Amino acid sequence: MLFHSSLRKELARSFGATLVVLVTVVMTMTLIRTLGEAGRGVFNPSDVMIIMGYTVLSDMPTILSMCLLIAVLSVLTRMFRDSEMVIWFGSGHGLTSLIKPLFRFAWPILLVITALALLILPWAYGRIEDMRDRYEKRGDLARIEPGQFQESASGERVFFIEKDASGTQAGSNVFIATHKLDKETITSARSGRVEIISGEKFLVLQNGQRLEKVAGKPDLTVAAFSTYGAQVDADDQSARSFVPSAAKSTLELLASPTKAHLAELAWRAGLALAAINFVVIGLAAAGVNPRVGRAANLGFAFGAFVVYFNLLILGKSWIETGQVQFGVYLVALHGGALALALLWLTKRNNNWVFRLPGATRRASRAPESTP
């Protein structure tokens, strides 16, 4: 039908425009947050753009769901405002007859959201955790930054280098403070360079001095040296010792249905079910009221989105702590939201009017006006 075709084209334009805006906003916010984490030493500063890409990719199910709700609500509201829905109703069709063309437009998006939630989201989160873990396990030399005090991976040493010669693994004005067991050592040198000795990495210092003090003893040992070698820790290439539930594949979660795994499954399945419900909610809420502004429906869409996804987050926490069962939660939240949306849609389609019993009696007892 021509009307269905034009409706899907307008939905596609609205969805595309909303997607571009939301992705731009999310990318900007993610970049700011990732830069802050890189500044605190959580990520490698050179991996900021990669981390941002993975983070935005993991947020895509949420972004697409919100775009779908806004597109359905804004397009149908525009049709009500321009009296196009009057023509639709005049042809003998109601609001419920729009469910089919809406889902004909939305089913590829719903399929993408489901694939992202069940397959891509854990992969992206796992990649982020791998990069975070690899950066935390980097060796002592990789931690050294010119002009900054850096702690070693074991926490026993603090390094400082004033400046380095790029590409030569050498620097000047080197300072190393070591605290191991009951012994404290402070080593300083005019210059230092990295050398491989017997397969191990050593920081070879030149023209410096070494101060050593044993806890509980007043003696302080001072020694000057022309050349001194200090072994440094190498990069830890071991795999992650802990894999969070968010980084595990859906098949792994299904194979081991613990509370934490069921909570993660409820979150992933909820992303897909929420997107389906948003199509029905957008259809049921579409309309125009001359007493309120044009942004009223968009405000409702944002409010419904925030409430729904906060319930998803709370449900994940409740399942993980055992406060609610997995199946009961899915039926109560998503089934309840769908039932309320369908009831609302049926009420509008059939023009049902709900009145309180007291209001009905007062209306029937009201005296007739005399001419």
Using the predicted structure, report yes or no on whether residue 133 has a pLDDT greater than 60.
Answer: yes
Higher pLDDT, 245 or 113: 113
> Which pLDDT tens digit goes with each residue over 17-42?
999 999 999 999 988 888 888 777 67
Give the pLDDT confidence score for residue 270 in this predicted structure: 92
Integer Cα distance of 245 and 290 in angstroms: 49
Give the pLDDT confidence score for residue 24 in this predicted structure: 92
Give the pairing type, strands 157-165 and 220-231.
unpaired
Residue matched to tokens 């979660």? 253
> Which pLDDT tens digit goes with each residue over 289-336?
666 666 677 777 788 888 999 999 999 999 998 899 999 999 999 999
Integer Cα distance of 57 and 66 in angstroms: 15
Using the predicted structure, report yes or no on whether residue 138 has a pLDDT greater than 60.
Answer: yes
| Exposed e or buried b per residue across 171-195, where buried means at least 16 C-beta atoms within 10 angstroms of its C-beta | beebbbbbeeeeeebbbbbebbbee
| Exposed e or buried b per residue across 147-170, where buried means at least 16 C-beta atoms within 10 angstroms of its C-beta | eeebebbeeebebbbeebeeeeeb
Mean pLDDT for the stretch of residues 183-211: 79
Mean pLDDT for the stretch of residues 169-193: 79
Q: Kindly report the pTM of this predicted structure.
A: 0.75
Higher pLDDT, 145 or 36: 36
Of 256, 272, 262, 240, nearest to 121 (Cα)?
272
Instruction: Give the pLDDT band of residue 369 (cuts 50, 70, 90).
Output: very low
Q: What is the mean pLDDT of the chain?
A: 80
Mean pLDDT for the stretch of residues 84-92: 69
> Which pLDDT tens digit goes with each residue over 243-284?
788 888 889 888 888 898 999 999 999 999 999 999 999 888
Instruction: Give the pLDDT band of residue 371 (cuts 50, 70, 90).
Output: very low
Integer Cα distance of 275 and 69 in angstroms: 8
Contact 160, 153 (CB under 8 A): no
Give the pLDDT confidence score for residue 241 in this predicted structure: 63
Mean pLDDT for the stretch of residues 281-288: 82
Give the pLDDT confidence score for residue 363 in this predicted structure: 47
Give the pLDDT confidence score for residue 267 in this predicted structure: 92
The three-state (H, E, C) secondary structure of the chain, written as one string: CHHHHHHHHHHHHHHHHHHHHHHHHHHHHHHHHHHHHHHCCCCCHHHHHHHHHHHHHHHHHHHHHHHHHHHHHHHHHHHHHCCHHHHHHHCCCCHHHHHHHHHHHHHHHHHHHHHHHHHHHHHHHHHHHHHHHHHHCCCHHHHCCCCCCEECCCCCEEEEEEEEECCCCEEEEEEEEEEECCEEEEEEEEEEEEEEECCEEEEEEEEEEEEEEECCCCCEEEEEEEEEEEECCCCCCCCCCCCCHHHCCHHHHHHCCCHHHHHHHHHHHHHHHHHHHHHHHHHHHCCCCCCCCCCHHHHHHHHHHHHHHHHHHHHHHHHHHCCCCHHHHHHHHHHHHHHHHHHHHHHHHHCCCCCCHHHHHHHHHCCCCCC
Higher pLDDT, 193 or 143: 193
Instruction: Give the pLDDT band of residue 61 (cuts 50, 70, 90).
Output: very high
Of 34, 47, 226, nearest to 142 (Cα)?
47
Q: What are phi and psi of 159, to 5 degrees?
A: -110, 150
Sign of CA dihedral 119, 125, 126, 131: positive
